[in-house]
Structure formats: structure tokens, C-alpha cells
Amino acid sequence: MRSAMLLFLLFSVLAGAMDLDLSVSVGPDYASGGWGDNLSNGILGRIDVCWKITPSFRAGAGMEASVFGSRYDTDASLSMMMPHVSAGYYLRPGATVFNPGIEVAGGLARTSLRSGGGADPASWDPFWRAGIRWDFSIGAGFRGAAGFDYSGIVAESKSGDTFGLVFTVSREVSL
């Protein structure tokens, strides 16, 4: 009980000094490598909460989901759920038009395949992601960003790599 109270106090102190960046990203996702031969291009969605440790540097956590359908008229689909931690570094924080940056992330990916009315056992594997961003203001306190990510799911025997375009809308909140 005392430990929980200490944790709560620590979080409260930290939160008091926090500038958080809440972001939502979407974009197309492309399989890289033979694993996507029978699958269509995918779509990804991502929610992140990042703490702006300095104006340029941020770190946080989030959840990403990706879905790939069948390339042909079959009913195959592959879905990925990826809880992750992330970090980003931006060169011109607060710039209205051009604030380039890089983002990296790592976490676990749960991949599941469904096809023909069946489903393969889901696999949990570590994954990494790296990408570049062009961040800009879109007014009313919101910021937008566009960029691309390359990510790899480090699965057994063969990795599942993807290339994704990312479009992000974010808003900074202070706690």
C-alpha cells in the first residue's frame, strides 16, 4: 500500500511538469519480402502519447494496428497489434512549416493470420521501427506530420518487414 502511494506521488510530481504530445497516425502499409505475396497492401493506425522531455526530444508509448487483406478474391487477412515505446528527435521544434525529425520505436507485435475460415496460431514477436517525419503546424493548436517508416517484426526463421507511409495529427497538452 505504501509502495502504491509513493508511485502515485511520483507520477503526480512528474505529471505536473509534463508536456504531452497526443497523436493519431494512419497510412498505407506495404509488405516487404515474400511473406506478402498473397496479401494486399495494408493499412495502419497508430495512437501515441509522448512526453516532450526537451523541445526537440520526446519519448512515449502507444499502440499500432495494421491489417492486410487478400491480394486476390480469397478471404485471407493478416492483422498485427503492436504495443510499443517510442522516441523522436526533431530539428526545428515549433517551426510552422518545416520541422524534420526522426522517430524510432520498439515493442511486441502480435500477428495473426486468417484464411479460408481458419486461423493460424498468433505469434508474439519483438519488433522495431524507424522513420523520418516532416512536422508542421496545421493551426488551432494542432500539428500535422508526414513521413515513412520501415519496420521489422523479428519472427522465427524469417522477419516480417513492412514499409509504411504515415500521416499524423497531434496536439500538445500540458499536465
**32 scored as a contact of another protein (CB under 8 A):** no
Which class for 162: exposed (0-12), middle (13-18), buried (19 or more C-beta within 10 A)? buried
Q: Which of 16, 116, 139, 141 binds another protein (CB under 8 A)?
A: 116
Q: Which of 28, 120, 138, 175 binds another protein (CB under 8 A)?
A: 120
Nearest to 146 by CA among 155, 135, 130: 135
CB of 110: closest distance to another protein in angstroms? 8
φ, ψ (nearest 5 deg) of residue 9: -65, -45
> What would the grid cell of residue 110 be?
502480435
**82 scored as a contact of another protein (CB under 8 A):** no
**Contact assessment for residue 29 and residue 68, using Cβ atoms and an 8 Å cutoff:** yes
Q: Which of 5, 17, 117, 141 binds another protein (CB under 8 A)?
A: 117
Distance of alpha carbon 71 from alpha carbon 63, whole angstroms: 26
Residue placing its CB nearer to another protein in the complex, 60 or 152: 152
CB of 25: closest distance to another protein in angstroms? 23
Which stretches of the chain bind another protein, using CB under 8 A? 3, 33-39, 70-74, 76, 78, 108, 110-111, 113-125, 153, 155-160
